[in-house]
Structure 1
Amino acid sequence: MRQQTHKRGRFTNKTVAIVAALALGGGGAAIIAANASAHGDKGDSGQNHTVAAKAGTIQCPDVGQKLSDVPQKARPNVDKNLAELDNQVAKAYQQMNQQQGSSDAVLSKLNDERSRTMDNIGSAMGGDNSQLQGMTDCKWQEVATQGGQQQGNQQGGQQQGGDQQGGQQGGDQQGGDQQGGGDQGGEGANDVPGNAGGQAGNGPSQDDFVDITKVQPNVQQPPQAQQNGSTGTFATECGVGDPKLRNSDNVIVAPGVGNGAHHTHDYVGNDSNDAFANNQTFEQGGTSCKNQDDKSTYYWPVVRAQDGKDEADANELGGGQEGNVGTILTPTSSKIEFKGNAQSKVTAMPKFLRIITGDAKAFTNGDKNANASWSCTGFEDRQLTDKYPLCPEGSSVTRTFDFQSCWDGQNIDSANHRDHVAFAGEDGSCPNGFQAIPQLVNTITYDVPANTPFAVDGFPEQLHKPITDHDDFINVMSEDLMNEAVDCINSGKQCG
């Protein structure tokens, strides 16, 4: 990790006021909204407004993560049914969000639907339900906020001209602006922009943000390269994504299913990535990469400013209908680099190898597969997995994704999209039966508007928690280009 050279800027008073407002109830990440659509009610101001109600979310066993042995011929049917499970949870969450029935009734209906869908999965696998035991029932998961108290709860609000006006802990919400009592850093929280804690009512919360200058350096040095190690790097430049190519599909996890991600992705590299793409589609597609032999697809959930404004997808699935709201931020840069292994030379990735790093459902699944990290430029020696950083003036927000760098030598994918690849150990060695491949490291940078909180897109029930961040990759480099990358890395050069 390079030495910190960025001169630390002073937080503006308004930025400090954001923290104050979040602490005073502006946060809604753990709040199910009542009497409002998932993207809020839009008034003449063009901003979204939400009344918050219950603190919690729906937690369901992640069936897809548990399926380690699915016959190849059964995978298309299984994948479609797994996508249907996600769809059921999203609909149930929205019903609770809009108070369409009691929580018990919604959960009961959801579990009945899941039971039938899981029977379909078992039938597709030849009647083998052994991997599905105990995975039917979903439950309501209470979410504790700061101090164990529910934050952002509003009562007695009235709808006038599309604006919510009602009492709120620490202040009132009028015309979409949060007005909180108290002050911090010399200015009151009434200086904070509207929807400071998540304009859709389902996140993020005040607990999800931290001042990066208050975080202690926590990045460990990489293992020292051994004599047979590979120390080179290979970079590929593919731009920052075309807004016209954004979609809410998920071709790795839910192939053939529209809106399989329930959130919007940015795409760089291959320009033909959607739910219905296949290896031939990728082979024939174009690419945004400068090296036209790299038709790989690199994609990740978008980041949105919680600025109270409607994006183009405000009324669409994957967008506002599922709580993903606010202005989508276009990255200022996306650095794509492949690195070596401390213990051994790397071998070429197979074409069409699929890798997912991070877990889009880590908030309800737990942090076992959480891997993405957040930070600020100039503070790269401190990385956050479960917090969003508040960066000082002059510093940009960064997301870093370190991909798995060990491959089983046989499969380009696996039933749960994880078992065919693995992370290297602390000393850089791969697990038994795995071999080192070039490690993809993707760092994305954003200039977040001043005094504006932000959130990563996600499944609606994941409450826009930073721990759910993830990144996806399918290798579509030509054989010659992949061999060039391997030779570069193994010879200790910096190429690309």
Structure 2
Amino acid sequence: MLGGATLVAVNVYASATEGGSDQQAGQTAQVLSAPTVYCPDAGSRLTDVPDAARADVDGELAQLDQQIAAAYQQLKESAAAIRQNPSLADQTILGPLKEKRSESLQRIADAIGREGDRPEGLDDLAPCTLRSSDQGGGQSASPQDGATPGQSASAGAGAGTGIGGQGGNGPVAADYADITAVQPNVTTPAEQSGGSTGTFSSSCGVNANGLFNSDNVIVAPGVSNGAHHFHDYIGNQSNNAFASDDDLAKADTSCADQGDKSTYYWPVLRLQNGTQERDADKPGGGTEGNAGQIVTAKEVTLTFEGNPTSKVTEMPRLLRIITGDAKSFVNGPANANASWSCTGFEDRQLKDKYPLCPSGSDVVRTFRFQSCWDGRNIDSANHRTHVAFEAADGSCPAGFEAIPQLVQRIVYDVDAPSLQDGGRTVPLFAVDSFPEQLHKPVTDHGDFINVFDEDLMRKMVGCINSGRTCGAGADEEPPSQSAEPDPSESATPENPPSDTASPVTEPSDTAAPADPPAQTQSAEPSEPAAEPSATRSGSGDSGLPHVYTSASPKKSSGTGGGVISKPTERPETQAPADAASTAGAAPAGRQNPSTAPQTEPQAVQGDLAETGTSLWPAAFGGLLLAAGFVLLWRTRWRSS
């Protein structure tokens, strides 16, 4: 009787815990994904920082990001207690966070004041609030609409159609939209006399060798994990937080044309399928809500385009450009610039939704970088004001000149997730993000540092200005009859044929091609994938691996005082379509679980047969218990 009762109790408890884990995890994830930490972005407000103060300012800005990440982690851990007592948010999270931010902002003001005019009003940026995720619309409210401290944590619970994702901080169902229900919304400025109509391509692979880290040498130089999310890198192979300009100039490149040592990087895309990558318990990875299998792109194209109203000039060497805003979920969409679409549907672009693509269509991320330069600076304090976007007619702002526009297109062979079951059948996909940004698609962004050699840059400009199609991977075309030949072109060397050009040897995997053909996974499901080796270059390393050098599994197929300014709106030429009403239903034909690389599913929902199979020890225990009662009764009856 004791043995049978024990079997019943243990097995039923275990099954209840296991069977209810999906619902419980979904509810918890929904609660945790609802509130996020909103703090005014100090970096975007500092438009003029003396050169001598920039290192100190950049370090403090990175510290502000670290403080927010820690506060968000504390929010997740305290979610249940805060629902019961919302005032705890002020006492335990927002109050201490304000004090830390105030100290960092004071140090920023001191650093700028030592070299120029001390900025005023920085301390006004110290207070933070908790804000509910607008899960129905996929974007945050404007900063003025932010909730007061301590209110959002309970208000957000249960709102919208929460999924939570593997990291517990998004994405949610409302972050996806059926691309077939979106109306075409792409407009192109009309070409004008004197414009530059050519294109130049650079072929740099898809990061098949698995070069990742969570640094950002543009925004947080010298700071490990300055991005708080992982990046894919192609082109320059020495990009980390500690890379100097000289390091970048001497580095190897994955680009077919060795004259292009530029660095191109963007947040990785992950499948929320339970796979444990090497960063699962590392900063920038799982500890900050970036979890799941990193997907290798199927295709990456890098195209430099001209300007419809004027000729373009050469980019200055080591020019840095960031397009998009990694914090746009809390900052607002003024600087958001990434677009999402599907192959075959690229006349319709989404800025605040991930696309649900029909069968046979792949997910596409597109970044159109700023193409107007101030003619003086290769960077600016907020990494934005030295470059600008074209106006709707293609013209540059007064004082700016046109440069080649980098258009970066990344294609992924991923299936439309099964939103109806929270991505259990077909996993959700999302980009890495700062933890408090909840993996929203509007936070997507791209980074570029120009390390073209002078001859190749001269050739690029000559090609674009003369109306030709040039570069690695492009068929050379003669100049159009209407285009004027560029005199600089005659002084440049010929471009090597695209069919014979090959990338340089990768640092750790000499056999890995820059752009391999699609492959299928041949390993048994129970066999773990080989872990990539980790190496780190530079000084000041914390001991954590930041650069991974083997591929992860993939599917087949100035001076002056500091000035605080408000973020400026850029001209919008592609309005996002409102497809929120279609976000709940995935198109058919892309939900075959056999093709999804779920090597370690988050949860399994069994049917009745599976449930019966898992409860057989309880049934056996029940028989033992019943037999014990019968035996006891018969023994007592005989003894009487």
TM range (shorter): 0.7 to 0.9
Partner of 2:128: 138
Counterparts in 2 of 1:279-428, with a 5 A limit? 279-428=245-394
Partner of 1:484: 459
Partner of 1:217: 184
| Residue 95 of structure 2 corresponds to residue 95 of structure 1 | no
Partner of 2:436: 461
- Contact kept, 8 Å, 2:371 with 2:402, in 1: the verdict is yes
Helix, strand or coil: the match of 1:74?
helix
Distance in structure 2 (CA, Å) of the matches to 1:350 and 1:131: 34
Partner of 1:435: 401
Partner of 1:115: 102
Partner of 2:51: 72
Distance in structure 2 (CA, Å) of the matches to 1:437 and 1:403: 11
| Residue 198 of structure 2 corresponds to residue 232 of structure 1 | yes
Helix, strand or coil: the match of 2:242?
coil
- More helix per residue: 2
- Contact kept, 8 Å, 1:346 with 1:438, in 2: the verdict is yes
- Contact kept, 8 Å, 1:196 with 1:452, in 2: the verdict is no
Write out per-residue CA displacement over residues 214-258 of structure 1, whole angstroms, 9 at most, x where no aligned residue: 1111111x1121111000000000001145420000100000000
Partner of 1:58: 37
Distance in structure 2 (CA, Å) of the matches to 1:237 and 1:144: 39
- Contact kept, 8 Å, 2:236 with 2:253, in 1: the verdict is yes
Shift of residue 129, structure 1, vs aligned partner: 3.1
- Contact kept, 8 Å, 2:357 with 2:415, in 1: the verdict is no
Distance in structure 2 (CA, Å) of the matches to 1:109 and 1:132: 18
Write out per-residue CA displacement over residues 40-60 of structure 1, whole angstroms, 9 at most, x where no aligned residue: xx9xx9xx9673334210000
Amino acid at match of 1:213: T
Partner of 1:472: 447
Q: Quick one: percent identity of the two aligned structures?
A: 59
Amino acid at match of 1:464: H
**Of the candidates 265, 277, 280, which is equivalent to residue 243 of structure 2?**
277
Aligned in 2, Cα 1:197/1:448: closer, same or farther, shift over 3 Å?
Answer: farther
- Contact kept, 8 Å, 1:196 with 1:453, in 2: the verdict is no
Distance in structure 2 (CA, Å) of the matches to 1:98 and 1:85: 20
Counterparts in 2 of 1:129-168, with a 5 A limit? 129-130=119-120, 132-146=122-136
Q: How many aligned positions are there?
A: 409
Amino acid at match of 1:145: Q
Helix, strand or coil: the match of 1:86?
helix
Distance in structure 1 (CA, Å) of the matches to 2:36 and 2:430: 17
Amino acid at match of 2:97: L
Shift of residue 109, structure 1, vs aligned partner: 0.6
Amino acid at match of 1:209: Y
- Contact kept, 8 Å, 2:102 with 2:123, in 1: the verdict is no
Q: Unaligned stretches of 5+ in structure 2?
A: 1-17, 82-87, 139-156, 417-425, 472-640
User: Superposition RMSD on alpha carbons, in Å?
Assistant: 2.3
- Contact kept, 8 Å, 1:354 with 1:417, in 2: the verdict is yes
Helix, strand or coil: the match of 1:234?
strand
Helix, strand or coil: the match of 2:44?
helix
Shift of residue 107, structure 1, vs aligned partner: 0.8
Helix, strand or coil: the match of 2:334?
coil
Partner of 2:166: 199
Helix, strand or coil: the match of 1:239?
coil
Helix, strand or coil: the match of 1:125?
helix
Helix, strand or coil: the match of 1:304?
strand
TM-score normalised by structure 1 residue count: 0.79
Write out per-residue CA displacement over residues 330-389 of structure 1, whole angstroms, 9 at most, x where no aligned residue: 000110000000110000000000000000000000000000000000000110000000
Partner of 2:113: 126
Distance in structure 1 (CA, Å) of the matches to 2:121 and 2:250: 37
281-290 or 51-60, which moves further after superposition?
51-60
- Contact kept, 8 Å, 2:198 with 2:464, in 1: the verdict is yes
Aligned in 2, Cα 1:131/1:340: closer, same or farther, shift over 3 Å?
Answer: farther
- Contact kept, 8 Å, 2:199 with 2:304, in 1: the verdict is yes
Write out per-residue CA displacement over residues 455-478 of structure 1, whole angstroms, 9 at most, x where no aligned residue: 010000000000000000000000
Distance in structure 2 (CA, Å) of the matches to 1:144 and 1:384: 17
Write out per-residue CA displacement over residues 276-327 of structure 1, whole angstroms, 9 at most, x where no aligned residue: 0111010010000000010000000000011122222111100000000111
Write out per-residue CA displacement over residues 425-480 of structure 1, whole angstroms, 9 at most, x where no aligned residue: 01111000000000000000001146332001000000000000000000000000
Helix, strand or coil: the match of 2:333?
coil
Q: Unaligned stretches of 5+ in structure 1?
A: 1-41, 149-167, 170-179, 181-194
- Contact kept, 8 Å, 2:378 with 2:386, in 1: the verdict is yes
Distance in structure 2 (CA, Å) of the matches to 1:437 and 1:199: 41
- Contact kept, 8 Å, 1:268 with 1:298, in 2: the verdict is yes
Shift of residue 99, structure 1, vs aligned partner: 1.4
- Contact kept, 8 Å, 1:59 with 1:364, in 2: the verdict is yes
TM-score normalised by structure 2 residue count: 0.62
Shift of residue 133, structure 1, vs aligned partner: 4.7
Partner of 2:468: 493
Distance in structure 2 (CA, Å) of the matches to 1:243 and 1:109: 42
Shift of residue 144, structure 1, vs aligned partner: 3.2
Helix, strand or coil: the match of 2:216?
coil
